[in-house]
């Protein structure tokens, strides 16, 4: 009996061992052959495969294709994830962390310019110094200019269709090369580099607001929701993903796309002025071909025929209603000298204009909100507070008052209203209550909510003499310009220190300085501009710089170094025909770029600078085609092409 029991026990033990072995074999089969639900068993075998908080429990085969993991951040296929949001999340995660340890560096400010450290509403001043610019290496792309004769050189230097990548500062240069070029503006590379911050300011008012919101939110979805505030909502589907660096060639495409697809809010009821706008658009699109006109030099325009017809129709048709409400100094107080004079001169000449201003708002095609972004900062900003809520609240109250007193704002949601703001903070201050308005901004930055087809780029003009705004106008002839390139200015932002690092006191042909010693009437600075072939227009805290207009004023070919800057009067002017645009990443190669321009081509560029000059001059009394009329035309043109049909 005992012998039989022992035999039975041994048999059952063998069966149990076989059962355990078969079970483990099945588990191993599921695990390594990737059968469905295989990941459920992952924790039985490998601790390094255990899903961690925030990571997916699925394996790489389940991740969307074309995704790439860089610095522990996964960027998915743009088809499934909006690129703007990718940039937003990445910048918040890698750059604007609360435990920022990068040291600060302070620099001297320019005369009459306060420190435009663009901060968020109620945000803290987090400054950082960036040691280097990390941009993807790309071959340049050129676009031929409209010109009667052949032209071997022109257009943007070192054009890049690559988005930046998320990178640490110690990543090798070989790892920084992007892998997938853009096929079009909608196919965006998933290989992205971190954005670069300025030396003395962190982020813009527009960007900081989104960053502050994201710090308060824990989930990615809510951060994405906040990021959408920057764009008017009337036509969400017309926006295309914006790469880290948007070159001028791409800006032209975005503008054309916006004209075809962007429409402002549909009026709650139609007026005769709406029909006039639609008729005007048809007239412009079918403009008679201009073969020769003494007032226009064709190559400096995108389409001289359309511009000529549009300008004529503006003179014949346009009526602007100027609101008289509001107290000084923020409203109705022109600021006529200094860095932000553009908004003041426009306000002065618009309010005094008899040709375009109408007292009957029912006849108006446009409504002007005559406030000064500079005076708003002067009157309300508390120095050192880093809080802009009261500035934004003031504009909110102003809009509430206008919309409560009149029906015109409510008819279009403000889409037929416009503002002119040159202060660096204007984009952030107007992006909420005035988001649907046409905004003419000096800080015309693709990355800060500039909307092609709606917003206009306002020229930043440094006016030194309000009585004679054209004083010292002009410069030496091309043959008497002995300096290859000139720049002087305070160390605002991250680009200028890099410019000086590579070129200050390095080459006698490159007159690259910091801030020049003071001289009466700033004659040293002006003399350099008058005697240089190329004037370097490097961005400061923001993308805009008064040097762009100063170079044209003194007949020096402007060299714009400011990624994502939308040049003034972009709707009309072909900037690549009279200016050189260099990517920030190409600063070390700046001299070679300029020397590669043949002398014949330089003479052509300088001649065109003279041809375009009259569009950038202020006069005490406005003159046809001058800067006042060009600003008004940009606003008028954008309103025509954004007006909805019935």
**Same domain, yes or no, for 460 and 406?**
yes
Same domain as 511, residue 425: no
148-154 average pLDDT score = 39
Question: What's the confidence (pLDDT) of residue 79?
Answer: 36
Band the pLDDT of 241: cuts 50, 70, 90.
Answer: low
Is residue 370, in this structure, part of any structural domain at all?
A: yes
pTM for the whole structure: 0.67
Q: What is the DSSP letter of 418?
A: E
Q: Is the pLDDT of residue 128 over 60?
A: no
- Does residue 452 sit in the same domain as residue 400? yes
- The count of domains in the chain is 2
Task: List the strands of the sheet with 580-581, edge to edge.
Answer: 510-512, 483-487, 532-538, 557-561, 580-581
**Residue 97 pLDDT more than 50?**
no
526 Cβ contact partners less than 8 Å away, ≥ 6 residues apart: 472, 554
CB 436 within 8 A of CB 455: no
pLDDT of residue 3: 66
Instruction: Say yes or no to pLDDT of 582 above 90.
Output: yes
Q: Are residues 445 and 543 in the same domain?
A: no
Per-residue pLDDT band at 118 (split at 50, 70, 90): very low
Measured between alpha carbons, how far is 142 from 163 in angstroms, rounded to an integer? 18
CATH number where 524 lies: 3.40.50.2000
Closest CA to 474 of 337, 594, 346, 614: 614
Identify the residue with better confidence: 179 or 472.
472
Q: What angle do CA 175, 178, 184 make, to 5 degrees?
A: 175
The C-alpha atoms of residue 519 and residue 363 are separated, in whole angstroms, by 51
Q: Which residues of 210-247 are buried (b: 16+ CB within 10 A; e: fewer)?
A: bbbbbeeeeeeeebbebbeebbbebbeebbbbbbbbbb
Mean pLDDT of 121-136: 34
- Would residue 112 count as lying in a domain? no
33-69 per-position pLDDT tens digit: 544 433 333 333 333 333 333 333 333 333 333 333 3
The pLDDT value given to residue 17: 83
**Judgement on whether residues 537 and 611 belong to the same structural domain of the protein:** yes
Specify the higher pLDDT residue, 139 or 462: 462
Same structural domain, 499 and 609: yes
Of the listed ranges 6-10, 211-215, 367-371, the one predicted with least confidence? 211-215
In a domain, 225, yes or no: no
User: What element of type H or E holds 70?
Assistant: strand 68-70
Q: Which of 66-70, 118-122, 470-474, 501-505 has the lowest mean pLDDT?
A: 66-70
Query: Above 70 in pLDDT, residue 490?
Result: yes
Say what the pLDDT of residue 168 is.
34
Q: Is residue 66 in some structural domain?
A: no
- One domain for residues 266 and 400: yes
Q: Of 5-14, 146-155, 393-402, 515-524, which has the strongest mean pLDDT?
A: 393-402
Average per-residue pLDDT in the chain?
75
Are residues 326 and 373 located together in one domain of the fold?
yes
Within this chain, do residues 495 and 453 fall inside the same structural domain, yes or no?
A: no
- Domain enclosing residue 356, as ranges: 248-464+631-642
Token match 């923020």: residue? 330
The number of beta carbons lying within 10 Å of the beta carbon of residue 531 is 17
Under 8 Å between Cβ of 41 and 31:
yes
Residues 519 and 571 in one domain: yes
Q: Within a domain: residue 79?
A: no
In a domain, 125, yes or no: no
Check whether residue 458 and residue 557 sit in a common domain. Answer: no
The CA-based dihedral angle spanning residues 271, 275, 277, 279, taken in that order and rounded to the nearest 10 degrees:
-170
Residue that wins the pLDDT comparison between 19 and 146: 19
Q: Is position 449 within any domain? A: yes
Unique residue bearing structure tokens 């790469």 = 243
pLDDT of residue 31: 57
In a domain, 117, yes or no: no
500 in the same domain as 457: no
- Strands ordered across the beta sheet of 456-457: 320-322, 366-368, 417-421, 438-441, 456-457
């Amino acid at each position: 009996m005992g012998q039989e029991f022992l035999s039975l026990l041994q048999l059952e033990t063998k069966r149990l061992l076989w059962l355990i072995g078969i079970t483990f074999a099945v588990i191993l089969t599921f695990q390594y052959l990737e059968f469905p639900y295989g990941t459920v068993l992952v924790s039985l075998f490998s601790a390094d495969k255990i899903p961690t908080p925030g990571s997916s429990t699925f394996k790489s085969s389940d991740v969307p294709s074309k995704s790439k993991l860089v610095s522990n951040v996964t960027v998915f296929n743009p088809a499934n994830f909006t690129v703007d949001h990718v940039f937003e999340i990445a910048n918040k995660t890698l750059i604007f962390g609360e435990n920022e340890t990068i040291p600060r560096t302070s620099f001297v400010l320019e005369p009459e310019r306060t420190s435009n450290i663009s901060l968020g509403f109620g945000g803290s001043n987090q400054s950082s110094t960036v040691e280097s610019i990390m941009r993807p290496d790309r071959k340049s792309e050129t676009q031929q200019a409209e010109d009667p004769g052949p032209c071997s050189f022109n257009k943007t230097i070192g054009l890049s269709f690559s988005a930046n990548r998320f990178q640490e500062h110690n990543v090798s240069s070989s790892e920084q090369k992007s892998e997938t070029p853009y096929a079009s503006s909608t196919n965006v590379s998933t290989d992205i580099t971190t954005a670069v911050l300025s030396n003395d300011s962190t982020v813009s008012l527009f960007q900081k607001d989104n960053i502050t919101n994201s710090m308060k939110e824990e989930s990615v979805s809510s951060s994405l929701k906040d990021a959408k505030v920057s764009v008017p909502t009337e036509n969400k589907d017309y926006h295309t993903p914006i790469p880290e660096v948007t070159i001028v060639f791409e800006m032209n495409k975005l503008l054309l796309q916006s004209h075809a697809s962007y429409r402002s809010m549909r009026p709650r009821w139609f007026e005769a002025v709406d029909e006039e706008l639609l008729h005007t658009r048809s007239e412009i699109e079918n403009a008679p071909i201009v073969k020769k006109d003494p007032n226009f030099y064709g190559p400096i325009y995108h389409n001289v025929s359309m511009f000529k017809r549009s300008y004529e129709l503006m003179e014949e048709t346009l009526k602007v209603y100027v609101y008289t409400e509001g107290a000084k100094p923020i409203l109705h107080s022109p600021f006529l000298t200094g860095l932000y004079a553009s908004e003041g001169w426009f306000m002065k000449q618009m309010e005094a204009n008899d040709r375009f201003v109408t007292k009957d708002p029912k006849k108006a095609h446009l409504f002007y909100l005559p406030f000064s972004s500079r005076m708003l900062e002067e009157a309300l900003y508390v120095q050192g507070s880093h809080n802009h809520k009261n500035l934004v609240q003031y504009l909110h109250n102003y809009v509430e008052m206008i919309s409560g007193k009149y029906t015109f704002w409510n008819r279009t949601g403000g889409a037929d209203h416009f503002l002119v703001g040159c202060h660096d903070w204007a984009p952030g201050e107007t992006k909420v209550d005035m988001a649907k308005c046409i905004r003419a901004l000096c800080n015309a930055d693709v990355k800060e909510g500039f909307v092609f087809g709606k917003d206009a780029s306002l020229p930043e003009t440094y006016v030194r003499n309000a009585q004679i705004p054209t004083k010292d106008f002009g410069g030496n002839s091309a043959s008497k310009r002995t300096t290859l390139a000139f720049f002087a200015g305070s160390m605002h932002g991250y680009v200028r220190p890099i410019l000086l690092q590579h070129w200050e006191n390095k080459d006698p042909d490159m007159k690259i300085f910091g801030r020049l010693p003071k001289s009466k009437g700033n004659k040293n600075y002006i003399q350099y501009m008058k005697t240089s072939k190329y004037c370097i227009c490097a961005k400061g805290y923001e993308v805009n710089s008064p040097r762009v207009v100063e170079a044209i004023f003194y007949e020096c070919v402007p060299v714009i170094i400011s990624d994502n800057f939308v040049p003034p009067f972009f709707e009309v002017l072909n900037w690549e025909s009279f200016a050189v645009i260099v990517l920030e990443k190409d600063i070390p190669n700046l001299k070679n770029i300029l020397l590669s321009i043949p002398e014949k081509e330089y003479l052509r560029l300088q001649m065109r600078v003279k041809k375009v000059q009259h569009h950038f001059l202020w006069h005490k009394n406005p003159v046809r085609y001058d800067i006042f009329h060009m600003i008004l035309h940009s606003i008028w043109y954008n309103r025509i092409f954004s007006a909805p049909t019935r």
